[in-house]
């Protein structure tokens, strides 16, 4: 069994990105990311802080705009409009989830498609589905980079994705399809998840349910990607996979923490740099 070490690989990526940012700065371009945080959700605050620190490590300018959870949708839209029209802002990220009174779809659709570093705008999603170059959703993008780094070719593989969110499951399924995999997606209405996972070559799980995937649900030699992160009553952090037992059967597996999480942040950094190049019309 081999660990798919996202933390170690993300450190390598950051070294490369630091060099790339220095090159951009040499021609007077400093990639700039603005992150909008609404409310005081501890998990969201933690994620935003990690993203901000990662930007700082590679030389990307990063700013956090905090709003009270009672902010109106129109005020939030006005702020995004200002950032869309600010030539010094290259990337805009609205940290999810948003309060219930705000329509997340409307907010995400309001972001300039060339500054949509989370890759959630329907335009960028559509280009992804059509296998065209776009700003990709960070977590699926990070997963594909991690598999490629470990020389895991998904072409011809049977892949099962547990979780059908717009943020992870659906775009990940599209990336897998684009790479030549045969993909099944399980969700809340799937009658028997085990029926799908037990014969899969690659199982990706991201539903936010601790220890959902057990060892009897996977075959020997399966590749396991754990996208979940959950906090147990004792304070420990676990994923959606029963790592202790599933790892005994897996050929490769991501740990939690230290697997998909760091890769998500690396993908965001890559998108921010890509967005800045698009806006300044810098050749790849």
Q: Which residues are catalytic?
A: 51, 95, 118
63 upstream amide cis, omega within 30 of 0: no
Q: How far is CA 13 from CA 135, 146, 149, 195, 267, in A?
A: 17, 11, 11, 37, 9
Cα distance between residue 174 and residue 124, in whole Å: 12
Q: Give the relative orientation of helices 42-58 and 6-26 as an angle to the nearest 10 degrees.
A: 50
* Spatial contact of 163 and 169, defined as CB atoms under 8 Å apart: yes
User: In this structure, are strands 61-67 and 158-162 parallel, antiparallel, or unpaired?
Assistant: unpaired
Cα distance between residue 29 and residue 24, in whole Å: 5
**Count of other CB atoms within 10 angstroms of residue 234:** 5
């Amino acid at each position: 069994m081999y660990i798919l070490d996202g933390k170690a690989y993300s450190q390598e990526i950051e070294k490369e990105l630091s060099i790339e940012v220095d090159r951009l700065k040499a021609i007077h371009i400093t990639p700039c990311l603005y992150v909008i945080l609404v409310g005081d959700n501890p998990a969201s605050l933690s994620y935003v802080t990690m993203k901000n620190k990662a930007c700082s490590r590679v030389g990307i300018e990063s700013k956090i705009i905090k709003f009270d959870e009672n902010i109106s949708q129109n005020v939030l839209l006005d702020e995004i409009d200002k950032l869309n029209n600010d030539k010094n802002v290259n990337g805009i990220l609205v940290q999810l989830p948003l309060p219930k009174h705000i329509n997340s779809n409307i907010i995400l659709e309001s972001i300039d498609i060339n500054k949509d570093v989370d890759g959630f705008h329907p335009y960028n999603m559509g280009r992804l589905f059509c296998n065209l170059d776009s700003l990709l959703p960070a977590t699926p993008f990070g997963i594909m980079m991690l598999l490629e780094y470990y020389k895991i070719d998904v072409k011809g593989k049977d892949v099962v994705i547990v979780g059908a969110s717009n943020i992870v499951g659906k775009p990940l399924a599209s990336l897998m399809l684009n790479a030549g995999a045969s993909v099944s997606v399980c969700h809340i209405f799937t009658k028997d998840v085990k029926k799908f996972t037990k014969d899969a070559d690659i199982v990706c799980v991201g539903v936010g349910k601790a220890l959902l995937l057990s060892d009897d649900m996977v075959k020997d030699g399966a590749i396991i990607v754990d996208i979940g992160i959950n906090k147990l009553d004792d304070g420990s952090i676990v994923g959606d996979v029963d790592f202790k037992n599933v790892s005994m059967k897996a050929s490769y597996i991501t740990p939690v923490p230290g697997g998909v999480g760091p890769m998500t942040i690396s993908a965001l950094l890559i998108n921010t740099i890509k967005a800045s190049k698009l806006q300044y019309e810098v050749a790849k």
